[in-house]
Structure 1
Amino acid sequence: MRLNASAPAPARRGTVTLVAAVLLLVGGLLLALPERAGAAADSLISRGKPATASSSETSAFGPEKAFDGDPATRWASAEGKDPQWIRVDLGANATVSRVSLTWEAAYAKAYRVEISADGSTWTRLANETAGNGGTDEWTGLAGKGRYLRVYGTARGTSYGYSLHEVEVYGTVDGGTPPTGAFTVVAAGDIAAQCTASDSSCAHPKTAALARQIDPKFYLTMGDNQYDDARISDYKAYYDKTWGTFKDKTHPVPGNHETYDPAGSLAGYKAYFGSIAYPQGKTYYSFDEGNWHFVALDSNAFDQKAQIDWLKADLAKNGKQCVAAYWHHPLYSSGGHGNDPVSKPVWNILYAAKADLVLNGHDHHYERFAPQDPNGKATADGITEIVGGMGGAEPYPIENVQPNSQKRISGQYGVLKLDFTDSGYSFSYVGTDGKAKDTSPKYTCH
């Protein structure tokens, strides 16, 4: 059942009438009746939980504003576009009995309230086709899932959709709620043409470290095999070290993968097989927990097909947090320096509120403060990490870039990234097993 109470007209605010007093008295009596006890037992389970949305008008109107308990704040979508949605992660599977929506003047004429166990497949709990704003109370629900969203299909005004509060009531299922936490190991510029029999050979050591960390999965940021990434070299070198956990690896190619005399990326594709192009291309995406990972081929950033795919992929993403990785960094203090080939991709990721970018190409470790595509430090910017110390000969630091917070050259190692449902942190771990740098804890946008 939905009870709708439209916002009072300004002239009537603060006016207490006899009818209102009677209604308050009757309401109090109804609340005291035994049959209402069950409803009172349900708790507010959405306050302060991680939220995401299809869009936000500005960062001041982010989706988290609809779950902060402050009636003065609000989420507002981009204007003039249908459909739009806002979603909350309840932190664990829950039974939802009631949902309260407090609309701002930009309300939904038509919308659905939906629930999902995995954030991908949705079940409808309620459906509105003649909304008029104010406060909508959906009661008598019996939905089960971890994620709840309000999916607007028709605006009630020429603006967007805007909610002061979304309140979800119910009970969280028993047991310890899943945190969604997981660890990833990443590196670029990995396998030189050497083996463990050579004491100066680094990639067997970084592989041993990566294996010891035992992450959920591994990422490579290109130049996986030197010098021209032939299949024979992959089998002779990379396969003996990093290849031992190939089935848990999500790779991308670097420029050295394009040097194969048998054809660009021939050895890379032959070695990794469908792992290298699980969606039919050398760029792809996948989800883990509350994170959406985007693997890109920076050798082909000038190709419209990849750019169009990236825009479409991010548009349909339902995860709160976004990480992307490829070979050529937009910003670097190393020998290769800044690479403008990545600027258009940064523009797209920044507009989609992406959180983290991982790159290789320059053979050093570097951590940048969150910044926008133009290199301006900003709290809603993207954190970039250069992690090209997987085994190739180190490059010196040459020209320190603005917003570069930490640089290490000459010490081989891997990135250890720790992800949660709402944020991340990372460290650069040397082959001696010691953390050489540790990041702050970041919250997803």
Structure 2
Amino acid sequence: MEPDFPKLRLMVFLLILVNVTSDYVRPLPREDLEFPWNPKPSSEPQQVHISLAGDKHIRVSWVTNDHSSPSTVKYRTSSGRYTSIAQGESTSYGYLLYKSGKIHHTVIGPLEPNTVYFYQCGGQGPEFQLKTPPAQLPLTFAVVGDLGQTGWTKSTLEHIDKCKYDVHLLPGDLSYADYMQHQWDTFGELVEPLASARPWMVTEGNHEKEYIPLLTDRFVSYNSRWKMPFEESGSPSNLYYSFEVAGVHVIMLGSYTDYDEYSNQYNWLKGDLAKVDRERTPWLIVLFHVPWYNSNKAHQGEGDEMMAIMEPLLYAASADIVLAGHVHAYERSKRSYAGKPDPCGAVHITIGDGGNREGLAHMYNNPQPEWSVFREASFGHGELQIVNSTHAFWTWHRNEDDEPVKSDHVWITSLVSSGCVAEKRHEQRKILMAP
């Protein structure tokens, strides 16, 4: 009997369509970027990036090769002659044979919300401009972890640049310097166009842990270069802190510092959660590096210990969304708690797919867990738009042929509006106020 070619073609097309939409796999990672040596005047600012530093303030950070360069920032709301100046602090560090430049950190403000400011670092060099976040919702976060410095990183950053975001959230693994300190410098140059214009709020990952026993401190490179508002939030460590922007309270935790019940981080977290006012900040978002909900074969179970200790605190406080990296793939969960779907738990999102040199984590455990909604091994970035006090819109954009393709999206309703916060008020008080 003659084969039915139209039906065969249709079957082949459907098989291809199913494979593409349900099991898309990115190509191999691109090579590390090459950075030609481009010397600048020794006092000219390099690696400029900004971060939030308390209410209505921005911290400007940069590096100069000239150690006599001042840690001053001039700024105003129009280009040209500056009307305000702020004096900051500086540091430097040595790492084996490497000596860093002078690393400057200067806080400017108070600043008006949702406003463009022009600024100059150290009294010379180019003029930069930044935009402060709005004071009220809506607010948009760009989210991506495990960036590195590859061709895929460059593609991801280009896509984020097209996103109209207010604050960038990065849950660990920034430069992938891995002890090669000059790669912290090249990473700073790579992200400067974006990081100098919008606040970048980061926490540490395993690739920031450049520890050599008896020779170097843990996280010396990361802590020296990327100072976050830990002091402003009452934290004793730059490895964990919190901040508020518009109607959102964001907590950045450390997966690679002590987190047991007797640790400084655990006690700080309890105190920070107890102070959260869900009327002023109806959204509670948490970031750290190692995911708690992970059905990928890579790094399986690595977050279990931290989850067992800290998830009850986040659940009692009705955390809405938890963002993590580490696994080089994307995954989104239902609202979950204790490893099971729970309408009063958090939505967990793994987004460690920024473009690092180690490649993607292609293999997943099967069957797919009940809590897992969407998972895919692709490079990309996320956008979280907090629309109002009750609704947020999350989208994940896959890097496909250098174009950002929206591959996953979901509306998220806040736990405040669902009644979970009110239901757990007594439980929250009991857990968070316990000695």
Superposition TM-score, scaled by structure 1 size: 0.55
The reply on whether 1:417 has 2:368 as its aligned counterpart is: no
Describe the SS at the equivalent of 2:189.
Answer: helix
1:439 maps to what in 2? Answer: 410
Per-residue Cα deviation, 1:51-88 (whole angstroms, up to 9, x for no partner): xxxxxxxxxxxxxxxxxxxxxxxxxxxxxxxxxxxxxx
The reply on whether 1:241 has 2:191 as its aligned counterpart is: yes
2:218 maps to what in 1? Answer: 264
Aligned residues: 259
1:274-423 mapped onto 2 (5 Å cutoff): 274=228, 279=233, 280-281=236-237, 282-300=239-257, 301-302=259-260, 304-318=263-277, 319-334=281-296, 335-338=298-301, 339-343=303-307, 344-372=309-337, 374-392=338-356, 393-399=359-365, 400-409=368-377, 411-419=378-386, 420-423=388-391
Amino acid at match of 1:418: Q
d(CA) in 1 for partners of 2:329, 2:230 = 24
Instruction: Report percent identity of matched pairs.
Output: 24
Per-residue Cα deviation, 1:197-240 (whole angstroms, up to 9, x for no partner): xxxx2111111111210311001010112152654212113531
Q: How far did 1:181 drift? A: 0.8
Amino acid at match of 2:264: A
d(CA) in 2 for partners of 1:289, 1:233 = 34
Q: Residues 145 and 353 of structure 2 are in contact (CA less than 8 Å); yes or no, is this contact kept in structure 1?
A: yes
Cα pair distance change 1:406/1:274, threshold 3 Å: closer
Cα pair distance change 1:190/1:363, threshold 3 Å: same
Describe the SS at the equivalent of 2:340.
Answer: coil
1:34-433 mapped onto 2 (5 Å cutoff): 180-192=137-149, 194=150, 201-228=151-178, 230-241=180-191, 244-245=194-195, 248-261=199-212, 262-274=216-228, 279=233, 280-281=236-237, 282-300=239-257, 301-302=259-260, 304-318=263-277, 319-334=281-296, 335-338=298-301, 339-343=303-307, 344-372=309-337, 374-392=338-356, 393-399=359-365, 400-409=368-377, 411-419=378-386, 420-431=388-399, 432-433=403-404
Aligned alpha-carbon RMSD (Å): 2.1
Amino acid at match of 2:390: S
1:140 maps to what in 2? Answer: none
Q: How far did 1:363 drift? A: 0.3
Amino acid at match of 2:406: A
d(CA) in 1 for partners of 2:289, 2:217 = 19
Amino acid at match of 1:232: H
Q: How far did 1:185 drift? A: 0.5
Q: How far did 1:379 drift? A: 1.1
d(CA) in 2 for partners of 1:389, 1:179 = 30
Q: How far did 1:320 drift? A: 2.1
Cα pair distance change 1:243/1:296, threshold 3 Å: farther
Describe the SS at the equivalent of 1:190.
Answer: coil
d(CA) in 1 for partners of 2:311, 2:178 = 28
d(CA) in 2 for partners of 1:274, 1:441 = 28
d(CA) in 2 for partners of 1:406, 1:379 = 18
Question: Which of the pair has more CA radius of gyration?
Answer: 1
2:98 maps to what in 1? Answer: none
Q: How far did 1:275 drift? A: 5.6
Describe the SS at the equivalent of 2:335.
Answer: coil
Gaps spanning 5+ residues in structure 2: where?
A: 1-134, 417-435
Q: Determine which structure has greater relative contact order: mean sequence separation of CA pairs < 8 Å that are 6+ residues apart, divided by chain length.
A: 2
d(CA) in 1 for partners of 2:305, 2:292 = 7
1:35 maps to what in 2? Answer: none
d(CA) in 1 for partners of 2:180, 2:283 = 36
Gaps spanning 5+ residues in structure 1: where?
A: 1-177, 195-200
Describe the SS at the equivalent of 1:358.
Answer: strand
Q: How far did 1:442 drift? A: 2.1
Cα pair distance change 1:352/1:361, threshold 3 Å: same
